[in-house]
Every structure is written in C-alpha cells, then in structure tokens.
Structure 1
C-alpha cells in the first residue's frame, strides 16, 4: 500500500496516498458514523450494499496486534466511503457524506492551462461535429420531402410503370429483389382490404371472359392482377394511393434511381 498522509481530521480522518488518491480507514469510518453494528458485520454488509470491488474500491491490509494476533484493516476510496456514509440513512451519515464532499472539493487538483485549452478545443470539435450531423439530417429530410412530393404526384397514365419501379425500390430497401414478390402481394392485399374486392376472383373472371371471346391461351395466361386493376378506374386510383403510402412507410425516395 502507498504511504498514507493525513490531510483532514475533522469527522473522519482522510488520507492521501503517494499517488494523490483520497482514502479513509474502514474502522475509523465505522467509528465516525457511530454504527451500533459490530465492525466485521458492518464493513461486510456495506461493501455488499455498495457492490464494492477489492483492489478497486478498497484494499485490505493485515495488521499485527500487540498481543501477537492479527486483524484486517480496510483502506477505502473516498467515493466508496461517501456511499457507505449515505447508506447509514441517518443524520450522522448525511453529515459525514457532506464532509467527504467538502474534502473532495478542497483538494481537487486544478487543471493546467494546457488541459483547459484541450478541453475547450474538444468542446469546439464536438459542437462542429454536432452541427455537421444536424446539417446532414436536414439535408436527408429535405430529400425525403422532395421524394414524397414526387410520389404524391404520380402520373395516373403511367401508373403501371411507376408503381413497378417503386415496388422494386421497396424490395431493395428491405434487402433485395428476392423480396419483390412479397412486397407486390402486400400491395394487392391492401387494395383488396381497402376496397372490399378480390383481385384473384376478378383476374379469374377476366381470363374466363377472354377465353370465351376466343383470345389465344398464351395471351390469357399472361394476364395478372394489374390487368384486373386496369379494368376499374377507381381501383387504379386506389392502387396508386396504396403505393404512395407504402413508399412513405418504407422510406422510398422517388427521385433516386
């Protein structure tokens, strides 16, 4: 253990080590707090309450007694001693804790001019970094707003091409084109629920009608749910609306490629 020098003696002696650490003796702290518990029980319980770690928050020393026996002494960091005093939950504990705080303030090492300048420089660096982050956030927000504006103004005449492009973007946004089928099915499901229709039934009926009208099988087989949507102006408008909502939800920018 480093050589200890007494620096305060008022309520509980406070020592300074050769490395400048402020510490107290566990037994002297116990006496100063006027605890009614046995010292061995008190110190064990308080270390447990504080979750104190040996060789970090306190050190244990073995001391020879005059009668030839040995006893343990505990050298406790001032921060831990403050917490132990607070845990007494009485006026003496409060008084001792305030005393330790006053000792800390009194012996706090003043910063050198170089440390002060370094601290000020770090503050400026942090402020500049935060400003750049804010500017980037504003720029990203403006891009999203511009993208949303373009989404809102989708051209109903090119709805198939535009919605396909945006569905591709959504798939990429969540991991890749392998998600495109699920994204597309989600859009159809939302349209069914929103308008109380069944695109599957409409598509089946459309195929039957075209087959009865003599349309070749290859052409009938190529029909999909978009063709069922295309037959109903209200469904086209509804589908465009749903795609817009999905774009906003998936954070899609209509301007990006």
Structure 2
C-alpha cells in the first residue's frame, strides 16, 4: 500500500496529528494542533515533557531528531514522539475545542488498543506463542533503535559542551552573544534574549563585585565631557564596559560558558 492510500485511510485529525502506524504523534504536531503560541514551544516541551517528573523517556516519549527547517529552527528545535496515553495527558492541560477534540481522539485510540489485546486472546495457543515471539523481537529492535538515537543525542550534547569549554577570550563578543541567543531560543525566543542577557550581567556583577550600571553611566559622562555626540553615547552597552577590563572579559566568558552547559547549548 503506498503512502497516498495510507493517508486516504486516515481521518482528518490523524492526518493533522501525524499519527503513525503505532498510534503515536509528535510533540510538535500536538502543539500545532492545539493551536498554541509557536514562540513558547521550547518552553512547553521543557516543562511538560523533558522536565515532567511524571513522564518517563523511552516509555511515554521518545527523542526524535529535529525535522524543522532552518527558518523554524529554535522555536521548534527538538521533537519527541508521544504515546497515545501521554499525548492525551498533555491534551488535558488545554481548555479549547482543539484540546477536547484531541482528548476524545486519544481516548478512542486507547480503547482500540485494548480491544486488539482482547482479540489476540482469542487466537490458538500456537498463534499466541508466535505472536509473543514476534513482539519480543520487535521490542528488541525498537529498543536498539531508541538506544542508538539516545546515544546520538547525548553525543551531540557532549560535542556542544566540548565546543563551549574550548571557547576563549579571543572572539568573546561574538561567541558569548551567539551562545546567549541559543539559550534564549531554548527558552522560547522573543523577550527571552533580553532576560538571558540580563542574567549574565547580574551573575558577573555578583561574582566580580562590579557595578556595570554605574560604570556605564560614568563612561557616558566622560564621553559627553569629551564632546562625543549623544547617539554615540547611547550606543554604548555593558559589553563595551566589560571589554575595557581584562578580568571582566575573563569572568564574563566563564559565566556564559557555565550558562551554556547548564542550558545544554553549543557555541555554533
């Protein structure tokens, strides 16, 4: 049976949710179906899937390499396959009509799975034995595939950390800026960049005992006394203040490294 025939056999909601032959959808498909704000996707995934203490990886959800294109990378950087039961639990957090539709669908899907189990019990002992053997082999292959994907994911994270640790003060402006942008994308983009940047400055102020705001004010006053135009003074930033002090550059680079490792992002 070709893909076109398979699609024709699916209901509209199954097509929208990208439901596969095992009744599984993906985090991205479910999020889009629930019509939630795309800019908050990464934050939603982190809170409801990755950091969910009531969800177990490789049981409720499975890491799936990103299929996002370059234009959507960041907000939709990671994706996860979701079991019907877990997808239903996530849908319960929604209040709209789409959330209700998703809940009803996954509830029906679970009932179908239960019915299949009942039907299998009607098979002869011999066929039930073959079925168990088949299921055992299939589970082993799927587990090997899941482990390989998980190992690849871990290796990518390790490589990102290795790149960050190798970061030095030679091109610190560009490198720290890129890392903070990646962290902000992990947190949903938008205003997150300003928040992440502010966090880095706050950590530097506490660790190095420096008042960046006061230094910036003093620098602008000196520039004014020197007759430098207001537009040039307004362009001055905390990064320019940090650049004037070698110790601050070293301290700031170290802080951004720590933030990158904490948030699991790489330099590039």
TM-score, scaled relative to structure 1: 0.54
Q: Pick the structure with greater CA Rg.
A: 1
> Per-residue deviation at 1:136?
1.0
Matched residue of 1:157: which SS?
A: coil
> Per-residue deviation at 1:131?
1.2
CA RMSD of aligned residues (A): 1.7
Q: What residue in structure 2 maps to residue 129 of structure 1?
A: 142
> Unpaired runs of 5+ in structure 2?
1-121
Q: Supply the distance in 1 between the matched residues of 2:170 and 2:230 (Cα, whole angstroms).
A: 28
> Per-residue deviation at 1:156?
1.4
Q: Supply the distance in 2 between the matched residues of 1:134 and 1:254 (Cα, whole angstroms).
A: 26
Q: Supply the distance in 2 between the matched residues of 1:171 and 1:244 (Cα, whole angstroms).
A: 14
> Unpaired runs of 5+ in structure 1?
1-108
> Per-residue deviation at 1:129?
1.1
Q: What residue in structure 2 maps to residue 151 of structure 1?
A: 164
The structure in which a higher percent of residues are strand is 1
**Equivalent of 2:193, from 180, 183, 189?**
180
Q: What residue in structure 1 maps to residue 132 of structure 2?
A: 119
Q: What residue in structure 2 maps to residue 85 of structure 1?
A: none
Q: What residue in structure 1 maps to residue 202 of structure 2?
A: 189
> Per-residue deviation at 1:178?
2.2
CA contact (8 A) 2:175 2:267 kept: no
Structure with bigger RCO (C-alpha 8 Å, 6+ apart): 2
Q: What residue in structure 2 maps to residue 50 of structure 1?
A: none
Number of residue equivalences: 147
2:212 is the counterpart of 1:205: no
Deviation readout 1:89-119 (Å, 9 max, x if unpaired): xxxxxxxxxxxxxxxxxxxx99711111110
The structure in which a higher percent of residues are helix is 2
Q: What residue in structure 2 maps to residue 254 of structure 1?
A: 267
Deviation readout 1:35-75 (Å, 9 max, x if unpaired): xxxxxxxxxxxxxxxxxxxxxxxxxxxxxxxxxxxxxxxxx
> Per-residue deviation at 1:205?
1.1
Structure 1 runs (4+) greater than 2 angstroms displaced: none
CA contact (8 A) 1:143 1:253 kept: no
Q: Supply the distance in 2 between the matched residues of 1:147 and 1:237 (Cα, whole angstroms).
A: 20
CA contact (8 A) 2:172 2:253 kept: yes
Q: What residue in structure 2 maps to residue 235 of structure 1?
A: 248
